[in-house]
């Protein structure tokens, strides 16, 4: 009984924090399910892709890979460039996820941009265990994406209009997340660092190869700033 009460308290605390993610994820995942359907992949395949792959932006990119001649090297490099940011997410959450037991394995698997944004900035309210709070944030975000994909896959059979432009929904979500972070003055320096490093990487490496250099540059700037503060 105590376990049930603790779980309910964690869900009640985590759910309101994930509502903005829910609205964004449902829009994006439904669009993804529809795009998969219009490219010949039914709801079962799109749902499995979301449940097992859970790659967000990479899933959108994978649609093109699935409908063109397969190049394993190109697919690997593209997946690495798109998802390299998760390496830095994981490193920054080592302390937060320390001591969370077996739950951390699922939390590592289901870590995404939106979950990282919430977990890295929120602390559990009084009376809610840290493990339960972060676990339910992660699980709820995961279920929004997988459930929306299944719904989009089912709705896709009824879509008859041109779906060009649906993939832009992902870019729109990133913009909204950035604006939410920008509202807090203490988050603005890191936002400016990200913009500056991305701009430098774009100028030097071009739009097709900017992701990994930008991430490396951001990490270097943050580590350099930390060393200066500690000195």
pLDDT digits (tens, 9 = 90+) for 66-102: 777 777 777 777 777 777 777 777 777 877 888 778 8
Q: Is the pTM of this model over 0.95?
A: no
Higher pLDDT, 172 or 1: 172
Residue 95 has phi, psi (to 5 degrees) of -70, -40
Any idea how long the chain is?
231
How much is the pLDDT for 166? 63
What is the pLDDT, as a whole number, of residue 2?
A: 64
Average pLDDT, the chain: 81
Question: Quick one: pLDDT at residue 137?
Answer: 92
pLDDT in tens, 148-188: 999 988 887 776 666 666 666 667 767 777 787 788 888 78
Angstrom distance (rounded) from CA 72 to CA 26: 30
Mean pLDDT of 37-60: 86
Copy the structure tokens of residue 179.
């604006």
């Amino acid at each position: 009984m105590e376990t049930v009460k603790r779980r309910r308290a964690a869900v009640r605390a985590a759910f309101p924090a994930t509502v903005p993610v829910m609205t964004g994820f449902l829009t994006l995942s439904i669009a993804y399910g529809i795009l998969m359907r219009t490219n010949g992949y039914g709801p079962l395949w799109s749902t499995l892709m979301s449940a097992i792959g859970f790659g967000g932006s990479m899933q959108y990119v994978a649609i093109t890979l699935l409908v063109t001649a397969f190049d394993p090297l190109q697919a690997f490099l593209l997946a690495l460039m798109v998802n390299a940011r998760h390496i830095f997410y994981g490193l920054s959450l080592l302390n937060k996820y320390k001591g969370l037991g077996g739950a951390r394995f699922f939390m590592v698997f289901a870590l995404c941009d939106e979950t990282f944004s919430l977990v890295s900035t929120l602390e559990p309210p009084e009376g809610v265990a840290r493990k339960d709070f972060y676990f339910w944030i992660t699980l709820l975000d995961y279920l929004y994406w997988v459930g929306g994909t299944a719904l989009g896959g089912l709705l896709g059979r009824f879509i008859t209009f041109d779906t060009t432009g649906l993939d832009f929904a992902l870019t729109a979500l990133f913009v909204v997340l950035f604006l939410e972070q920008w509202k807090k003055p203490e988050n603005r320096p890191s936002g400016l660092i990200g913009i500056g490093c991305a701009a430098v990487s774009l100028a030097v490496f071009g739009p097709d190869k900017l992701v990994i250099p930008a991430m490396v540059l951001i990490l270097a700037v943050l580590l350099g700033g930390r060393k200066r503060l500690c000195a």
